[in-house]
Chains A and B, each alone.
Chain A
Amino acid sequence: MLPADFVILVCIVYVAILFAVAFAGDRRARRDPSGWLSSPLVYTLSISIYCTSWTFFGAVGSAARNGFEFLTIYLGPTVVFVGWWIFLRKLVTVGRIYRTTSIADLISARFGKDPTLGALVTIMAMVVTAPYIALQLQALTSSFQVITFHAGAVTAANVNLDPDFVTAFWLALGLCAFSIIFGVRNIDVNERHHGVIAAIAVEALVKLVALLAVGIWVVLAIHGSVPAIFEDAPARLVDPQETFGTRWITLCFLAAAAVICLPRQFQVTVVENSSESQIRTASWLFPLYLFLICLFIIPIAVAGLSELPGGSNPDLFVLTLPLNANQDALAMLAFLGGFSSATSMVIVSSIALSTMISNHLIMPLALRLSIAPAASPDAMRSFILGARRASIVFIVFLGFLYFYLSGASDALAAIGLISFCGVAQFLPSLVGGLYWRGATNIGALAGLIAGFTLWGYTLFLPSFGGTFLMPESVIAEGLWGMAWLKPQALFGLTGIDPLVHATFWSLFANATLFICVSMFSEPTPLARYQSRLFVDVFRRQTDSELSVMRRTARIADLKHIANRVLGSDESAALFRTGGASDRSMVASDVLISEVEQRLASSVGAATARTLVSSVVTSETISVEELKRLADETEQIRAYSAELEHKSRQVEATAAKLALANDQLREIDVQKNEFLSQVSHEVRTPMSSIRSFSDILLSDPRLDPERKERFLRIIQNESIRLTRLLDGILDLNQLENGDVDWKIELFDPDAALDQAMASCEALASAAGVKLERKGRARRPLVRGNRDKLAQVFINLISNAIKYNTSAEPVVIVSSAARKGVYEARVADNGPGIPEGERDRIFVRFARGPMPRQVGAGLGLAISRRIVEKHGGTLSLLDAKLGGAEFAVKLELAKAKG
């Protein structure tokens, strides 16, 4: 045993050292904010406040009672940190970017800065944390009592220590002082508490060293060797059958949830986080810390069970084992380890909760009741700081009160896990809020209330064993005697561990209501906006963010608010960097958002919004804009698809235009060619006319025979000119499509015969033998008989004119087959060379023959005429060696 005075002295010295560390840390951080205090190591050590006195002392107790079950408490957090990129990374990033002040702030901000949610989460956190603080106070006082008690009493069976409320009271007071001095210096919560964190880191080291020292001593001095540990261990402790089951899984899950959701863990992990590298290091260093903490739990428990008299409190083995062996120094170290665990937990918890209470309970209330001082610029600031300090005192003494009222009952022993289950209720809203845009504030509210209520009903209240609120009869028989309402067997779910039972029902109801109510409720525009910011935190687009909120406020009003909360110096700096020009009366959207964000990092998002809204004269959140943002990716995808489609259309149009342009160019070339051809064709007969008329005029002595011949040439050339003009006009009319022919049913063979008759004279004059072979049987086609006759005349006369054979023959034939009438004109002339075959249907193109009468338009006109009849005019491979043309026309059905 150690004298109480000595222990107190050691404690005071230790606390003085902590004060010095915190003080130095604060000073150092002010000079060099990015120094070693922001290092990942310090960050990781601060996270180890997860290991409270409940784990420092209690883990051994748990191991002594339930074997390896204690491991779950470390396994859950290990999984969370090792798999940090799954959830932790997003949570920490959101917290850092949006300057979150607490878990209540994050949940309220995510769901549209809903003050009700903030308040609810705060109250829940208070209910869960106060007993937890009480537990620390109990651990502190009982460990103090043990170490100062005379040795004989410790070793005696069933030492019943009366709770030492006086010690507890002074301890609570000291913790308040420390928290207030180092935790509430500045109202900007997001500005890290470097002093506190430094002290916490030192404490984390102390508790680790203490536990390792006791562990090593136990292995070496008591067990002697590592295998001996297992020989000494009672069989039930290391029986895997006893260990693994639903309770094991539930505990792992609860521990994982707690390391995220516990207000103090949120404070050190999220709020105090300043960079991703911190969390990256913590992802392996924190599990390593937990591993070291766990290493000697079983050896200590086994040693305690074997060395200490039966009935000794296993929760104090860490302390009583060295005491029992008169290792006073080791006992003192172990005491300091427990002291560190307990104090660091209380300090950080009280700071975290004070922020929540002041931001989510006191401030909204003060603003609503208009009791927040508005007179002097710094009054509001002092008011908030005062509220924080009061909150710290309040929460610590709430814990003390709980400790005082519950006495040293067993209720406290189980409070760790009960707290875990309580804070796990935040999990659905937290996870849903970060990953599901559809989650609404009403859904979160419904889930939280249901989960919290069921947690209270099935776990928290029954844990008092009928001494608080819930009478024993309700626990045994159910509310109003209804068995299905039995707190520990809800809806007849019996036979399972109460913790598993409560966890199942509370989280089941919580998650189900959260999801269902979210699906059937519509988020407010602000909540929709916030959901986008939070869910898409890794791909936020800052430029489009501010376009959603359109607010108007006078700069003077805004400044007034900022002065009140931030103090005049900081506020002035904010307005300077915020780009507010002195001349401008109205604040820009950017400035308003900046001020709100800055305020939020002090008083939380919801209160900041309330404050800013009080001076904003008009606010619109464009729902359209929001939807646009929400569906941004969708829209971009749709838009790019549309763009692709459009560009394809444009390409197609461009191709069409290019084609049309080519065609126009072609037509233009053709037109020029045509003009030059026409002029050529006109100039030739004109030459004869002019020349011969000159001769006739200038030579009056010309003999009459010659005179007549020349006059006839003039006449013929005039006729040729006229025909040329007619041809051009005909072709133009045919090409432009406006023909005004009389359409009738007629026998094409009759037209063919008529054409042959017209050409008889020409043929006999040229000495060409004109023959008619093969005849169709009574064919009928629809069209214009005269025009078709013109085509036949053209073909037959061409065949006669261009036939230079020694014995010229032209054969005309016709046939009707398969609904098609076909007339052919073949000759035995020179034929048309391969290269010319396509050209001959082009106007003014003539065969390679000496010039004869004809304008070169005949075949072009003929082809057009046949095409107008829906038929074809084509050149075939001639059987007679010359050219052979074929006209094909569709046969009309004869009437009757």
Chain B
Amino acid sequence: MPLPTNRVLVVEDEPNIVESLRFILERADYDVHSVADGVLALNRMRNETFSAIVLDIMLPGMNGLDVLRAVREDQRLADLPVIVLTAKGQAQDRRAAEAIGADAFITKPYSNAEVVERVDELARR
């Protein structure tokens, strides 16, 4: 089964940010899906196929880092590219995310171009 290369899941609880990400990624020809809750996000990742995940950390229900950890522990999802996008911009937050296995780390406020670039890099490998 060929990997669909344009499905991106945005895990974010801030509606305006979801809207902006959806706009810029769709403009770059991605099929953008979004979910506001960590637990729901993990379910979708297990049941569907995505080429990249954009993951917020401060989430209701399940923390973004816990979601990432679950992803990395899941054999089928272990290689799924995850871009952590967060308002927690301090160095230790970046280190924590990378230690768990984030492929990219972008702090808010983000540059639209950078987000697209990272998704391009990871989703189209």
Interface residues of A (CB under 8 A from B): 676, 679-681, 683-692, 694-695, 698-699, 713, 716-717, 848-851
Q: A680-B58, A683-B109, A695-B24 are in contact. Are A688 and B17 (CB under 8 A)?
A: yes
Residues in B with CB closer than 8 Å to A689 are: 109
CB distance from B107 to the nearest CB of A (A): 7
Interchain CB contact under 8 A, A691 and B87: no
Interchain CB contact under 8 A, A688 and B13: no
State in angstroms the CA–CA spacing of A45 and B23 once bound together: 126
Interchain CB contact under 8 A, A683 and B108: yes
Interchain CB contact under 8 A, A850 and B36: yes
Interchain CB contact under 8 A, B112 and A691: yes
Mask of B10-32 contacts with A, CB within 8 angstroms, 1/0: 00011111011101100100000
Residues in B with CB closer than 8 Å to A690 are: 109-111
Residues in A with CB closer than 8 Å to B108 are: 683-684, 686-687
Q: A680-B87, A683-B89, A713-B19 are in contact. Are A691 and B14 (CB under 8 A)?
A: no
CB distance from B65 to the nearest CB of A (A): 14
Residues in A with CB closer than 8 Å to B90 are: 676
Interchain CB contact under 8 A, B60 and A713: no
User: B36's closest neighbor in chain A, by CB?
Assistant: A850
Interchain CB contact under 8 A, A691 and B110: yes
A680-B58, A851-B60 given; 9 more Cβ-contact pairs under 8 Å: A676-B88, A683-B108, A687-B87, A690-B109, A691-B17, A695-B24, A699-B27, A713-B16, A848-B61
13 contacts between A and B (CB under 8 A): A679-B87, A680-B58, A680-B87, A685-B16, A686-B109, A687-B87, A687-B108, A691-B24, A692-B20, A694-B111, A695-B20, A695-B23, A698-B112
CB distance from A823 to the nearest CB of B (A): 30
Residues in A with CB closer than 8 Å to B61 are: 848
Which one of A688, A690, A691 has the highest number of Cβ atoms from chain B below 10 Å of its Cβ?
A: A691
CB distance from B57 to the nearest CB of A (A): 9
State in angstroms the CA–CA spacing of A149 and B76 once bound together: 147
Interchain CB contact under 8 A, A687 and B109: yes
User: B88's closest neighbor in chain A, by CB?
Assistant: A680
Residues in A with CB closer than 8 Å to B13 are: 850-851
The 3 A-B residue pairs with the shortest CB-CB distance in the complex, in nearest-first order: A683-B87, A691-B20, A687-B108
State in angstroms the CA–CA spacing of A691 and B24 once bound together: 9
Mask of B103-125 contacts with A, CB within 8 angstroms, 1/0: 00001111111000000000000
Other-chain contact of A848, B15, B60, B87, B113 (Cβ < 8 Å): B60
Residues in B with CB closer than 8 Å to A685 are: 16
A-B contact count (CB 8 A): 69
Interchain CB contact under 8 A, A679 and B89: yes
Interface size class of B (residues with CB under 8 A): 20 to 34
Q: A679-B89, A691-B24, A695-B24 are in contact. Are A851 and B109 (CB under 8 A)?
A: no
Which one of A683, A686, A689, A713 has the highest number of Cβ atoms from chain B below 10 Å of its Cβ?
A: A683
Interchain CB contact under 8 A, B87 and A688: no
Interchain CB contact under 8 A, A688 and B112: no
Interchain CB contact under 8 A, B37 and A850: yes
Residues in B with CB closer than 8 Å to A691 are: 17, 20-21, 24, 109-110, 112
Other-chain contact of A851, B14, B24, B89, B111 (Cβ < 8 Å): B14
Residues in B with CB closer than 8 Å to A681 are: 87
Residues in A with CB closer than 8 Å to B20 are: 687-688, 691-692, 695
State in angstroms the CA–CA spacing of A686 and B113 once bound together: 16
User: A681's closest neighbor in chain B, by CB?
Assistant: B87
Residues in A with CB closer than 8 Å to B111 are: 690, 694
CB distance from A848 to the nearest CB of B (A): 6
CB distance from A363 to the nearest CB of B (A): 94
Residues of B68-125 contacting chain A, CB below 8 A: 87-90, 107-113
Residues in A with CB closer than 8 Å to B24 are: 691, 695
Q: A676-B90, A680-B58, A695-B112 are in contact. Are A688 and B16 (CB under 8 A)?
A: yes
User: A714's closest neighbor in chain B, by CB?
Assistant: B16
CB distance from B68 to the nearest CB of A (A): 18
Residues in B with CB closer than 8 Å to A850 are: 13, 36-37, 60
CB distance from B86 to the nearest CB of A (A): 8
State in angstroms the CA–CA spacing of A692 and B111 once bound together: 10
Q: A694-B111, A849-B60, A851-B60 are in contact. Are A687 and B17 (CB under 8 A)?
A: yes
Residues in A with CB closer than 8 Å to B21 are: 691
CB distance from A501 to the nearest CB of B (A): 106
CB distance from B64 to the nearest CB of A (A): 13
CB distance from B95 to the nearest CB of A (A): 15
CB distance from A435 to the nearest CB of B (A): 79
Residues in B with CB closer than 8 Å to A699 are: 27
Which one of B36, B60, B109 has the highest number of Cβ atoms from chain A below 10 Å of its Cβ?
A: B109
CB distance from A27 to the nearest CB of B (A): 97
User: A697's closest neighbor in chain B, by CB?
Assistant: B112
CB distance from B92 to the nearest CB of A (A): 10
CB distance from A685 to the nearest CB of B (A): 8
Residues in A with CB closer than 8 Å to B60 are: 848-851
User: A706's closest neighbor in chain B, by CB?
Assistant: B23
User: B19's closest neighbor in chain A, by CB?
Assistant: A713
State in angstroms the CA–CA spacing of A691 and B113 once bound together: 10
User: A699's closest neighbor in chain B, by CB?
Assistant: B27
Residues in B with CB closer than 8 Å to A851 are: 13-15, 36, 60
Interchain CB contact under 8 A, A688 and B58: no
User: A690's closest neighbor in chain B, by CB?
Assistant: B109
CB distance from A170 to the nearest CB of B (A): 118
Residues in B with CB closer than 8 Å to A687 are: 14, 17, 20, 87, 108-110
User: B24's closest neighbor in chain A, by CB?
Assistant: A695
State in angstroms the CA–CA spacing of A690 and B88 once bound together: 17
Residues in B with CB closer than 8 Å to A698 are: 112
State in angstroms the CA–CA spacing of A695 and B28 once bound together: 13
CB distance from B108 to the nearest CB of A (A): 4
State in angstroms the CA–CA spacing of A690 and B114 once bound together: 13
CB distance from B116 to the nearest CB of A (A): 11
Residues in A with CB closer than 8 Å to B19 are: 713
State in angstroms the CA–CA spacing of A699 and B27 once bound together: 10
Which one of A685, A687, A717, A850 has the highest number of Cβ atoms from chain B below 10 Å of its Cβ?
A: A687
Interchain CB contact under 8 A, B23 and A688: no
Residues in A with CB closer than 8 Å to B113 are: 694
User: B87's closest neighbor in chain A, by CB?
Assistant: A683
